[in-house]
């Protein structure tokens, strides 16, 4: 296997970034360019290169949104569900059902403390292609629940 970094954790994280490319979550060339600039074992370097790439991508998305507002968005609906003592942040991505039609729905949770939208690129787009709805969620110890509700773990 071609190492993206001699630093194994960096290599792993760069592979994860490349895995997002299949379903619109990354550009292979941009990830490889960023990887080539990262100094193995240097967390500041890792952060800087990927943060620079994120800022560039956001800027590009903002400019697309300005001129083509529909192109820059994936149709979705954010829904808060009440659970035992906290709220679950969900995002519903519909597979285009006709009025009154029911479609199967895959519910995806990210167990890596990653962004809620990330699983959309690993699994969600493939599910939508198959004609299924997709729901992503964040539970205890994930970003929005920790930030907005202070809930870190449920011990049971």
Q: What is the pLDDT of residues 129-146, one digit of tens each?
A: 999 999 998 766 666 777
Question: What is the average pLDDT across 97-121?
Answer: 84
User: Residues 43, 49: contact at Cβ < 8 Å?
Assistant: no
pLDDT of residue 7: 96
Per-residue pLDDT, averaged over 26-49, amounts to 96
Looking at the fold, whether 58 and 97 belong to one and the same domain comes out as no
Domain count, the chain: 2
63 and 92 in one domain? no
DSSP E strand boundaries for the chain? 77-83, 86-93, 105-109, 133-138
Please report whether residue 38 resides in a domain: yes
Are 109 and 144 found together in one domain? Answer: yes
Q: What is the per-residue burial (b if ≥16 Cβ within 10 Å, else e) of 69-98?
A: eeeeeeebeeeeeeeeebebbbbbbebeee
Question: Domain for residue 18, yes or no?
Answer: yes
Same domain? 98 vs 135: yes
- Condensed to tens digits (0 to 9), the pLDDT of residues 39-68 reads 999 999 999 999 999 999 989 888 887 776
| Co-location of 48 and 82 in the same domain | no
Q: How confident is the model at residue 70 (pLDDT cuts 50, 70, 90)?
A: low
Domain membership of residue 156 (yes or no) is: no
Q: Do 59 and 22 reside in the same domain of the chain?
A: yes
Residue 27 lies in a domain: yes
53: which 2 tokens?
Answer: 């790439």
Residue 152 has pLDDT above 60, yes or no: yes
Task: Look at residue 56 and give its three-state secondary structure.
Answer: helix
Q: Which two structure tokens, joined as six digits, stand for 11?
A: 């290599």
- Phi and psi of 76, rounded to 5°? -155, 165
Of 17, 35, 67, the one marking the end of a domain is 67
State if pTM tops 0.85: no
Q: Give the per-residue pLDDT at 4.
A: 94
CA proximity to 109, closest of 85, 145, 75: 145
Range of the domain at 114: 77-149
142 lies in the same domain as 91: yes
């Amino acid at each position: 296997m071609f190492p993206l970094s001699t630093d194994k954790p960096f290599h792993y994280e760069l592979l994860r970034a490349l895995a997002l490319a299949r379903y619109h979550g990354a550009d292979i060339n941009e990830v490889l360019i960023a990887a080539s600039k990262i100094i193995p074992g240097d967390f500041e370097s890792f952060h800087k290169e990927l943060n620079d790439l994120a800022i560039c991508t956001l800027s590009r998305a903002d400019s697309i949104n300005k001129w083509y507002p529909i192109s820059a968005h994936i149709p979705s609906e954010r829904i808060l569900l009440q659970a035992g003592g906290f709220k679950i942040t969900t995002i519903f991505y519909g597979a285009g059902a006709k009025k009154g039609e029911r479609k199967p729905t895959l519910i995806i949770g990210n167990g890596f403390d990653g962004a809620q939208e990330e699983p959309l690129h690993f699994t969600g787009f493939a599910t939508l292609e198959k004609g299924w709805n997709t729901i992503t969620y964040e539970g205890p110890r994930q970003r929005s629940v920790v930030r907005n509700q202070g809930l870190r773990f449920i011990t049971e």
